[in-house]
Structure formats: C-alpha cells, structure tokens
Amino acid sequence: MSVLAFASPTEPPGPWLDSFARLAPRLELRVWPDVGEPAEVDYLLAWNAAADAIRAMPNLKAVFSLGAGVDHLQEVAAELACIPVVRIKDQALTEGITEYVVYHVLGFHRHMHRYRAQQREQVWRELPQTRPGDRRVGILGLGVLGQDAARALVALGFDVSGWSRTPRQIEGVRCLHGDAGLDQLLRDAQILVCLLPLTEQTRGLLNRARLEGLPEGACLVNAGRGAQLVEADLISCLDSGHLEGAALDVFAREPLPPGHVFWDHPKIQITPHVASITNPDTSTRYILEQIERLNTAGVTALEAGTVVDWHRGY
C-alpha cells in the first residue's frame, strides 16, 4: 500500500484526508509531523513551510503543491531536483480566478471604486460610461490562469493584451513577451491584472517605474503573489493620483499584519488570498490521476505544464 502524507501548518488536513479516504481508500494517509517512519512516505501534499517534511522524507516519488503556486517550495528546490513537483491544475481553481478577475475588471471598468468614494461623500455624480472594446486590460502571465481570464474578458468585449516569458498565441488577445513587450503592455493597460508566479525574475516587478509606466488613472488587480509588488511604490502612485485603485488578494506578508497601511487605504480593496481557494475534492481527483500516470508510465506521463521546472522557477 502506498503512503501519502499531508504537511501544512496553515491548511487544515481534514477535508483532504476525507477526500483521499473516499476516493482512494487503498492509500494510507498520514499527517506531518506524525507520519511514523518518514522513509515509508511515497507522496507528499505540501502547502506553506513544508520544508522540514520534505527534508525528512528520503523516498518521495512526488510532491504535490496544494495550490497553483510553488514559491512556498523554493527554499527546498535543490532537494527537490530529482523529485517531480506537481502543482494543482483544476477547473474549479481556474474558474475561481477568472471570476475574481472579471469581478474586479468590471468593477474598475464601471468606476465602482469611484462611486463608492462618491457615496462616502454623499455625491450624486454621473461618470462617463466606456464600452468594453475601448477599455484596455493587460494581463501579466498567460499560463493556465491568465489564459482563462483573458478569454473571459475577450468574451465580454474588452481589449485584452497579455504578457508571458515565451511567445504565446491566444485568439483575440494581443500576446506580448520580453522586456519590450512588458513596456508596451504597461503603456496601454488601463486595468492591469497580475497572474504571474513568484520567481527571482518576477519579485519586485511591479515597482514605481513600472507602475508609473501605466496610463494616468489606471487600476491594478493583483492575484499573483504579494512580493511581485513593491508596496510602498503602490501607495505613492495611489496617493499621487497616478493610479486610481487597486484590488489586492496577495501580500508580501500573509496574513496582512494589523495596522498595515493597506487596510485603511481608501483606494485599496483587500481579500485574504481567496481569489481562488483550492477545492480538495476536485484537486484530489487531479492528484490521483497524476499518481496513476506516474505509476503506470513514469514522470514523462505527468500532465505537461504542471510539473515544476526549477530552472525557470515555476
């Protein structure tokens, strides 16, 4: 019987154990640090600070990140060089992100942030209504999530550009890459959406120079990772009026510390890293399918695009 362990100091194991017990009764389930003999563990489900567990388990056949991001495993990337690390690719997760992005893009597009400010001042004033085709949205990251969000925005009629590391082709989307592509996207984007993974290249990407490169009055939606945004630079661009609003789901420190300047900022909307919450039931099915592929046909049979390449960092 294969042994699967769960390791996360922040995520409750209960829903995952229930899903695995129901869908894979032949797997033996253990929860870190009470895993008995660590050498017996075949597969690890890891989220946030699972480095000790990974270091303790010498015979892992695969590590599954309990989310789409794998930056939480970067500190053990060297130890994971010979073990496939698989991230979640799940329709429920993707739908959640697309809903979050569409919600905020529509909100900024229809000036809901400005109407909220007017309401606080008891101001009755009509703001101009722009057609979606005249609203330019830029998406940083055209992977599983960025592509889905881009397609949904195109379907609503928005003028959508996207940026990736390598060239991409997506119908209806102006696909850009490289430094010149980023400059072009920022120059145009009235609403900027970040769905990038956190890597050495994307850390601090949204700094003052790049935020100032956005058109006057632009808005930011960040559901990638908090460390991609230089927080003080966002505040000064909002306070100077260069940017009109920001919807932030991810933060350099999570939970966002009490008293942080973001909490009370009138131009910032905060959600607690819930743009999409990993669904244990559908994700368990995905993980079991990958375990089956690994056992029957080896690492190369794992779904393309979900196995982490530590050279590129995601």
Positions marked active-site? 225, 273
For the chain, what is the largest distance between any 2 Cα atoms, rounded to a whole number of angstroms? Answer: 67
CB of 279 to ligand NDP, least distance (A): 11
Cβ-based nearer residue to ligand NDP, 113 or 225: 225
Closest residue to ligand OXD: CB criterion: 67
The site string for ligand OXD over 270-309 (x = CB under 6 A, - otherwise) reads: --------x-------------------------------
* 69 lies in the site for ligand OXD, by CB under 6 A: yes
- For 75-78, which contacts have Cβ atoms below 8 Å and span 24 or more sequence positions? 75/51, 76/51, 77/310
Cβ-based nearer residue to ligand NDP, 38 or 197: 197
Residue 122 interface partner, choices ligand NDP, ligand OXD, none, CB cut-off 5-8 Å depending on type: none
* 68 lies in the site for ligand OXD, by CB under 6 A: yes
CB of 53 to ligand NDP, least distance (A): 21
What's the gap between Cα 303 and its chain centre? 19
Q: Among the candidate windows 63-71, 100-108, 134-142, 251-259, which touches ligand OXD by CB under 6 A?
A: 63-71
Contact in structure between 141 and 196 (CB atoms under 8 Å) = yes
State the residues that interact with ligand NDP by CB under 6 A. Answer: 67-69, 97, 141-146, 163-166, 168, 195-199, 201-202, 223-225, 249-250, 273, 275-276, 314
Cβ-based nearer residue to ligand NDP, 13 or 67: 67
Residue 142 interface partner, choices ligand OXD, ligand NDP, none, CB cut-off 5-8 Å depending on type: ligand NDP
CB of 9 to ligand OXD, least distance (A): 15
Instruction: Spell out the residues 6+ positions from residue 17 whose beta carbon is closer than 8 angstroms to its own.
Output: 6, 29, 31
* 67 lies in the site for ligand OXD, by CB under 6 A: yes
